[in-house]
A and B are shown apart, each in its own frame.
Chain A
């Protein structure tokens, strides 16, 4: 085990400057990726819908919540990345070895269902965004499913990762469309730093919804696996931390612009919407047709991006837990379980959208509920694992870090439970 303990930011900068600026910058770009990709996938179809609704229904009053979310996201993802770097193992691997087969089997079944639900909503996002451009879902969804499947099965991971990194850039379309709404920055800045809490159920549900869509169970598995896959070592950990902080900020900046745009346009004009597609269409008369197109394009990119990653991450996670061959670098016959799981998720995700009269809203809703029920377990497992010296050695949480994490996790668990209960009651 390496002897150096938790590095303080000061040490990191010292080391960065010792290595020379350009060398460090080069290393940073070589090692960056997992954090940024994970965070950006998080702004998926479900996320964009939630942010649009939050802005349209509650104006700027929920904007402040993005600040605590950013902090929580950094804390949780930092733990995942640290576990990946130190143990060299994925999260499902660690859970299996520490908590045994039984817990793992049931956890994986629930995770599969939750992620399948999320995948369905990604394909719904593909359908909705392309309908704005006049493409029928019977064309867009099968084509999108094939594209996503082909990307991973026929491509190799290096190129796949590059495609995904480029996809992250397209989130700028939301920032541009945000500016097109001609916002009043003074008012927005004030809303951002003024916590508004209302006690009506609709407001609370939306607050929990934003948190739920930003911190999802699958992310922890995906992030840790990508960190391991990249072969990051403890010495490079400083860069990984930068990657994660940058990622957590980007995801919330995008969220900020979506909420803000919908608040200054739809909310101020009293327009009611139910989906992200409604939001995009309602923007045209208020902010111009280009704004609609940018918004729809952003939704398409986000949905495609997440539809590629979610099935992949699920297949990885499950195969890793059960010791099946799992890598995009293997051929179909070498890793049959991996490719079957992957293909099955894409096929089901796409096929369900194409069924006429499928209760899509209900499916998405219940997948959010399953996510919410799963998250507390995963967070608790993570905390137990990261404090296990047999796994983490000297890299276990410090006292302060543990206090902060337990608090964060406690709040998240409370909110998840509240969301599940309120969902079941309503």
Chain B
């Protein structure tokens, strides 16, 4: 961890709370109820203490936290002036530690886990307290409940085992106990470092209120990626908590087939509201996918893929791919169709890249293309994927016209929903 050259200079929040601050005449000015920190990089600095009503004071006040010397417990101050007190309201970028963190849940952005805070650890440096670690271990819990010595004696005596501390560096801590905390500046950069699949796991671990606050704090793109990885039931509850405009922004960033699945799970009025807010092109594509049952080829496919006429040359095709890939769900196979969109053949991206630029698709394409009908069952499709070792299978209608492409990834979610998700 960052600074631990002098371990004797560490202090726990549980050792500070409830301690009195002793005034110049040796009298208690009140007990420390909570600590105020100013968020600073890399570690927040303790600036004030919330004092209980002591002598000569009617209400709880913030009091400038005394300069920390060596071995200063209880905390003593040599002089008191009116400037040191202020009304107990937080400025922007300030946190009340006990209120916001102690006993509350946090996200460990390094391990991508939701944990509960048992204690906070400060480092005394440059005469002030810096919040460096969050204690999430059993040892911290035992310390808080006054059982640390007993448990040590028991474990050491019986099993020769020393209970370790489990600390998380503040750098990896994202407080989540209230929506305000998620709006703090630290939130975005810390959360954006987590993989969307891990973000989805975190969301599943949170309770309902925290979920939607947490989700709303993500930027649109991350939110869309995270939503794709989330359990369908939770997807629905997250989207139901948003208004149609917010929701449509996120859903537009999702892949077409995932978006269609999600909208299909929503109550009808909500889904229609969102479709109205969405870009027209995407809304229409989604509506088309929604027309098919979810477990059949039509419901599994995406319509964001590329197809060309056989008369196109390789160079032109590659430049189109480069241009369009951003909006596509799948680009590794390119399909070749006639003027009526009837499926003629396919070619892989690899084959395109190694082919001469002026060659025509009709010369290169493989016409032994495996396709399925719109109402093909998921198990049959799985068989085909396994037999032919494909990444995707095109879907055609009664007239053999291409309607969409089923990605292996999307099939897997339907055939083996338990894999990869908790």
**Which residues of chain A have a CB within 8 Å of any CB of chain B?**
87-89, 93, 96-97, 100-102, 104-106, 228, 231, 233, 322-323, 325, 327, 329-330, 334
Contacts and interface: CB of A to CB of B under 8 A. Distances in A.
Nearest to A103: B145
B136 to A, nearest CB: 7
Interface stretch (B205-213, B325-333, B342-350): B205-213
Contacts of B118: 101, 323
Chain B CB within 10 A, most for which of A88, A106, A323, A330: A323
A96 B208 contact: no
Contacts of B234: 231
B208 A323 contact: no
Contacts of A97: 103-104, 177
Chain A CB within 10 A, most for which of B116, B146, B234: B116
Contacts of A228: 207-208
B105 A334 contact: no
A94 to B, nearest CB: 10
Contact of B144 (A100, A329, A334): A100
Given A96-B103, A105-B142, A233-B237, 8 more contacts: A88-B207, A231-B208, A322-B116, A323-B115, A323-B116, A329-B422, A330-B422, A334-B422
Contacts of B68: none
B301 to A, nearest CB: 28
Contacts of A93: 207
13 contacts: A88-B208, A88-B210, A89-B207, A93-B207, A96-B103, A96-B116, A97-B103, A101-B103, A228-B207, A228-B208, A231-B208, A325-B205, A329-B422
A87 B105 contact: no
B233 interface: yes
A24 to B, nearest CB: 14
A323 B105 contact: yes
Interface string B145-170: 11100000000000000000000000
A371 B205 CA distance: 30
B321 interface: no
Contacts of A325: 113, 205
A89 B115 CA distance: 15
Contacts of A105: 141-142, 144-145, 147
Contacts of A96: 103, 116
Chain B CB within 10 A, most for which of A96, A101, A106, A228: A101
Contacts of A101: 103, 118, 141, 144-145
A288 B114 CA distance: 57
Contacts of B209: 87-89
Contact of A102 (B104, B115, B146, B205): B146
B145 A102 contact: yes
Nearest to B421: A329
A322 B138 CA distance: 9
A334 B112 CA distance: 13
A19 to B, nearest CB: 12
B417 to A, nearest CB: 11
A231 B237 contact: yes
A208 B102 CA distance: 39
Nearest to B236: A231
Interface string B171-186: 0000001000000000
Nearest to B211: A88
Interface string B244-265: 0000000000000000000000
A90 to B, nearest CB: 8
B422 A327 contact: yes
Contacts of A334: 422
Given A231-B237, A323-B136, A330-B422, A102 B208 contact: no
Interface string B312-323: 000000000000
Contacts of A233: 208, 237
Contacts of B146: 102
Contacts of A329: 422
A190 to B, nearest CB: 48
Contact of B103 (A87, A100, A327): A100
A252 to B, nearest CB: 31
A89 B210 CA distance: 10
Given A97-B103, A105-B147, A322 B141 contact: yes
A89 B118 CA distance: 18
A154 to B, nearest CB: 13
A67 to B, nearest CB: 36
Contacts of A323: 105, 114-118, 136
Nearest to B212: A88
A327 B141 CA distance: 21
Q: What are the 7 closest A-B residue pairs judged by CB atoms, nearest first? A: A323-B116, A88-B208, A101-B144, A105-B145, A88-B207, A102-B145, A88-B209
Nearest to B209: A88
A23 B234 CA distance: 22
Given A231-B233, A323-B136, A325-B205, A106 B145 contact: yes
Contacts of B114: 323
A348 to B, nearest CB: 19
Nearest to B177: A97
A223 to B, nearest CB: 16
Contacts of A102: 144-146
B407 to A, nearest CB: 26
A322 B146 CA distance: 16
A55 to B, nearest CB: 43
B317 to A, nearest CB: 46
Contacts of B177: 97
Contacts of A89: 207, 209
A96 B105 CA distance: 11
Nearest to B119: A101
A321 to B, nearest CB: 8
Contacts of A104: 103
Contacts of B116: 96, 322-323
A100 B14 CA distance: 11
B243 to A, nearest CB: 14
A88 B237 CA distance: 13
A93 to B, nearest CB: 7
Nearest to B140: A101
A228 B142 CA distance: 28
A106 B145 CA distance: 8
Nearest to B117: A323
Nearest to A100: B103
A101 B113 CA distance: 20
A104 B140 CA distance: 14
A102 B233 CA distance: 36
A102 B147 CA distance: 9
A93 B208 CA distance: 13
Contacts of B210: 88
Interface in B372-422: 422
B208 to A, nearest CB: 4
Nearest to B142: A105
A106 B136 CA distance: 18
Nearest to A85: B208
A322 B139 CA distance: 12
A233 B116 CA distance: 24
Contacts of A87: 207, 209
Contacts of B147: 105
Interface string B125-143: 0000000000010000110
Contacts of B117: 323
Contacts of A322: 116, 141
A385 to B, nearest CB: 14
Interface in B78-108: 102-105
B269 to A, nearest CB: 12
